[in-house]
Copies of this chain bind each other. A is one copy, B any other.
């Protein structure tokens, strides 16, 4: 059986950039396939409709809706639409836990969700952010989410859903992830050396603090001479977080303790530590 995983991307977050790649890192998995569509940054009703109707037409076993700020109208509409079509749906978004009402509604709903607190919004000011700065920031953020363990936890949750479909579960029978990724649960079990763990935890905390600084710089500061230093500092924070992750990874290399969990062609996840060893 080949599980069909549908992905709708509405706008960009770093967790979304890699989602389908994380499920099939060597592109040889035979137990699943993905179809992903996006309307880029446009979130008018007609844009969302086009993405969602394409997905529905493909009839995936389950769907993922990835977006920033997953309590806004666009992403909410998309998931309701998929749900109405009987497709089990998981929301992946950046931190919405401070937006009390929308967050309570999401928690109470039948949707799965994975909230990635470290997936901080970018310093989106025209005097600062150009394509190069945007890509560099995302490079740093991808490294932080990968090396702290956040991406692994996200992938593991999605793989659990795929496994349920492979086991014959359908629709509401499928147990969907309900998970807020923070510095505790993202890093858990990902490190051999305890100081590598501490550095990864530190990186996660710093990345999470970036969001507040960028919110201040993008929405709460009027003068451009004031907000440019603020958003610039937020990107320096993310660079520092990436540097801490690099230090953590180097410590793990130093004790030959890097934990690797590749997929087999069958989708089974195997595991290894010593570099010169076979995953089992």
CB atoms of A38 and B35 under 8 A apart: yes
The residue in chain B whose Cβ has the minimal distance to the Cβ of A276 is B194
With an 8 A cutoff between CB atoms, is A160 at the interface?
A: no
With an 8 A cutoff between CB atoms, is A72 at the interface?
A: no
Stretch among A110-118, A146-154, A167-175 lining the B interface? A146-154
Enumerate A117-157 residues with CB–CB distance to B below 8 Å: 124-136, 138-140, 142-143, 145-147, 149, 151-152, 155
With an 8 A cutoff between CB atoms, is A87 at the interface?
A: no
| With A25-B130, A194-B256 as contacts: A146 and B140 at CB distance below 8 Å | no
Cα-based distance from A23 to B38 in the complex (angstroms): 15
Q: How large is the interface on A (under 10, 10 to 19, 20 to 34, 35 or more residues)?
A: 35 or more
Cα-based distance from A212 to B239 in the complex (angstroms): 21
Cα-based distance from A3 to B123 in the complex (angstroms): 26
CB atoms of A134 and B25 under 8 A apart: yes
Stretch among A89-97, A100-108, A226-234 lining the B interface? A226-234
CB atoms of A272 and B127 under 8 A apart: yes
Copy count, this protein chain: 6
Q: Which residues of B contact A84 (CB under 8 A)?
A: none
CB atoms of A194 and B232 under 8 A apart: yes
Question: Looking at the complex, which one of B25, B132, B205, B276 makes contact with A225 (CB distance below 8 Å)?
Answer: B276
Nearest CB of B to A254, in Å = 4
| With A26-B129, A33-B42 as contacts: A142 and B145 at CB distance below 8 Å | no
Interface string of A194-212 (1 = CB under 8 A from B): 1101110110011001000
| With A12-B27, A198-B232, A209-B209 as contacts: A260 and B33 at CB distance below 8 Å | no
Cα-based distance from A58 to B54 in the complex (angstroms): 11
CB atoms of A256 and B195 under 8 A apart: yes
The residue in chain B whose Cβ has the minimal distance to the Cβ of A5 is B40
Q: Which residues of B contact A249 (CB under 8 A)?
A: 136
Nearest CB of B to A95, in Å = 15
Nearest CB of B to A118, in Å = 13
Question: Can you list 24 residue pairs at the A/B interface with Cβ under 8 Å?
Answer: A17-B17, A18-B135, A20-B38, A22-B135, A35-B39, A37-B37, A37-B38, A127-B277, A127-B278, A128-B275, A129-B262, A132-B149, A132-B152, A133-B260, A139-B140, A139-B146, A140-B143, A195-B232, A198-B232, A198-B275, A201-B229, A201-B230, A243-B243, A250-B251
Inter-chain pairs besides A22-B131, A27-B41, 14 sampled, C-beta below 8 Å: A21-B135, A25-B133, A33-B39, A33-B42, A34-B38, A127-B260, A127-B279, A138-B142, A197-B233, A198-B235, A199-B233, A205-B209, A206-B206, A240-B241
